[in-house]
Amino acid sequence: MTERPQANAVGTPLDRVDGWAKVTGGARYAHEYPVEGAVHAHPVRSTVARGRIVSLDPAAALRLPGVLAVLSHLNAPRLVPLVPSPPSCLGVEIDVFQSDVVVYRGQFVAAVVAETPEIAREAARLVAVGYDVEPHDVALDPGRDDLLAPEGVNGGHRADTVSGDVEAAMAVAPHTLDHCYTTPLTHPHPMEPHATIAVWDGDAVTVYDSNQGAHRIRGYVATAFGLPAERVRVVAPYVGGGFGGKLLPHPHLTVAIMAAREVNRPVKIALTRQQMSAVTGYRSPTVQRVRLAASADGTLLAVAHEAVGQTAITHRFAEQTAVAARVMYAAPNRRTSHRLARLNVPVPTYMRAPGECPGMFALESAMDEMAERCGTDPVDFRIRNIPPADPTTGLPFSSHGLEACLREGARLFGWEKRRDRVRRAGRRVAGWGVAASTYPAKRSKASASIRLEPTGRARVLVGASDIGTGARTILTQIAADALGLPVGEVSVEVGDSDLPVAGGAGGSMGTASCGSAIVEAAQALRARLGEIGGVVPPEELEVTGTAGPDSTAGRFSMHAFGAQFAEIHLDTVTGEIRVPRLLGVFAVGRVINPKTARSQLAGGMTMGLSMALHEESSLDHRLGFYVDQDLSGYHFATHADVESVEVSWIEEDDPHVNPIGAKGLGEIGIVGTAAAVANAVHDATGRRFRDLPLRPDRLVRTLIDP
């Protein structure tokens, strides 16, 4: 152990170390913990989108055998208000039952606690709630005169940026573009629904919860309930998907904790799909205006990206939709802005690649349009406008692989044959499209402990979160190489707030953050072994390492990049689009595990395909509520929709990004896919479609009556 470790695990396609536990049922998820004496909670949801509760009668529910309590604003304990920082960015709805005010339909107004989930559900139906109904407002209109300029947007970014003179450039440039692009409201819908078990032991609470960061959730719970952090334990070693929707706490978590204290028994709550549509967050719909100006030779002179999204009345969340436009392409004149409509809707939240995903649909669609106006190949146009340094900050890039991705993608896709291929066969027309992808390469502060046994086996403890992405596996590989041990001699424990503090699974930072902490811990362990002569004491040897956030962030602009290519076949009679081929090439630093990396990137691209063709949650403006509340009405890509998804990456050595050289790849796969598909539709039809999803009815209507 005192010799230099031999790297052999990182870079190999290792099977998931937790795969056997998952396929045999050994992996335990939030609602499955065998807690003795557990009872069940079921929420009562508002049936109006705006108003006040003027009466709430639980009598009929309480008469039902097996009902233990009904919680509402009339008897719920007071919570400590959360202070958002900055105020425009905290989309946390944890303050349940603190007021009689209703601000969206589906809001939790009461909760029943009963011996069985069936009794709780029936009793919830019997709680009589009366409302003083007020007119609601759910219309996202960029022309509203009450749009809010947030103090900042998600990720700690400024809401607006300006450099140069966009208007002057637009006035004189030989090529200009000014178009609006829209993306709909979409829901994450992870496979495992949101669920919680709360267990009080005196003045301490243990929460078994499906989330993307145990320490983050612990912090919110401790603050809201006025508890020291050490009296809150959050357990989430296995999570059945999240897509960003489980990064923040939601109302059911508060209900479980409140109810468990009220009845002095453990309380379980598992949300239904219908309940999740209102209270567990969604990606905000966007209306985006993109303006570009270019010279005669296809050099960009101006880039302006103005985004309008929505947020809730009482809980504000500002998605960073236009931020990607600040870094993607060079232009001396630039402007980005974000505005919010405060509506009677649930609070939005993170959803895979927040900001970059909807924002790059607009920007990359506009770039394709401008390439056409300039008479330039779309791949060449993007390469011509790659910036030599970060256009906003002026910082050099730690590495920049976009050109390599575009060229390699064009080679693999056969892009040079684009003009010579057969475009029509009967009523079917074919099209090819391209778009770029990007995602910031960040890391947060994280700590990890390593316990070395006298046998030579090592246990790695880190408060990471594995939401099905393979985090356990790649952290095992990083630890094995850092310690110079075979993978089979290393075990990694994650998903518990009792473990060393880590940021969880968000922002594609998990590998960089927790992996760097493990490397630091391994170095500390090796140093300690050297001090004691290399002999492990009988009681184990434990050390802790901590890695700080982005130590080089002030010297470099750090991003992952990619290029997406799509082939589509469009039936001109039915408007049906088939996508026989998707190709993505990415620059994501050092790839820790090719197998899990390919899975993540292909999954992201498939989700992007879903975004392009299917996904949208439809709002009934009369009721202020979603029409499609379950998976029978909410459409997304299935196996039949996905034919060939090819994933590749370029070799990229970035010594600045973090000690292990890895960039996050969990989210970049979804970025750019929808634009590549939409650009392919234009290539097939000669018509531009700027509103997602590309539903058959929209296409047929436009093709018949342009």
| Strand 559-571 relative to strand 490-493, pairing | unpaired
Q: Name the amino acid, one letter, at 164.
A: G
DSSP for 248-317 reads: S--HHHHHHHHHHHHHTS-EEEE--HHHHHHHS--BPPEEEEEEEEE-TTS-EEEEEEEEEEEEESSS--
For residue 477, count other CB atoms closer than 10 A to its CB: 26
* Alpha carbon distance 514, 269 (integer Å): 30
The length of the chain is 706
Alpha helices in 31-146 (DSSP H): 59-63, 117-126
Both structure tokens of 113? 């606690």
Q: Name the amino acid, one letter, at 12.
A: T
**Phi and psi (nearest 5°) for 200?**
-90, 140
Both structure tokens of 151? 């103090």
Both structure tokens of 558? 């750090």
Query: ∠ at Cα 587 (581, 593), nearest 5°?
Result: 85
Residues 6+ apart with CB under 8 A from 355: 153, 154, 155, 319, 320, 321, 322, 323, 324
Q: What is the dihedral of CA 515, 520, 526, 532, to 10 degrees?
A: -130
Q: What is residue 153's three-state secondary structure?
A: strand
* Alpha carbon distance 648, 517 (integer Å): 28
Strands (E), 407-445: 424-425, 428-440
* Alpha carbon distance 693, 16 (integer Å): 34
CA-to-CA separations, 141 to 48, 184, 307, 317, in angstroms, rounded: 22, 13, 12, 17
Whether the Cβ atoms of residue 182 and residue 288 lie closer than 8 Å to each other: yes
Both structure tokens of 363? 């920007």
Distance of CA 253 to the CA centre of its chain: 20
Q: Name the amino acid, one letter, at 7.
A: A
For residue 104, count other CB atoms closer than 10 A to its CB: 25
Distance of CA 264 to the CA centre of its chain: 36
Active site residue 667: yes
- Nearest of 480, 443, 445 to residue 460 by alpha carbon: 480
- Nearest of 251, 254, 274, 267 to residue 116 by alpha carbon: 267
Both structure tokens of 180? 């609006």
Q: Name the amino acid, one letter, at 77.
A: P
Distance of CA 522 to the CA centre of its chain: 30
Give the CB-side neighbour count of residue 280, counting CA atoms within 13 A.
29
Which secondary structure element, helix H or strand E, spans residue 579, and what is its range? Answer: strand 577-587
* Alpha carbon distance 601, 584 (integer Å): 8
Residues taking part in catalysis: 667
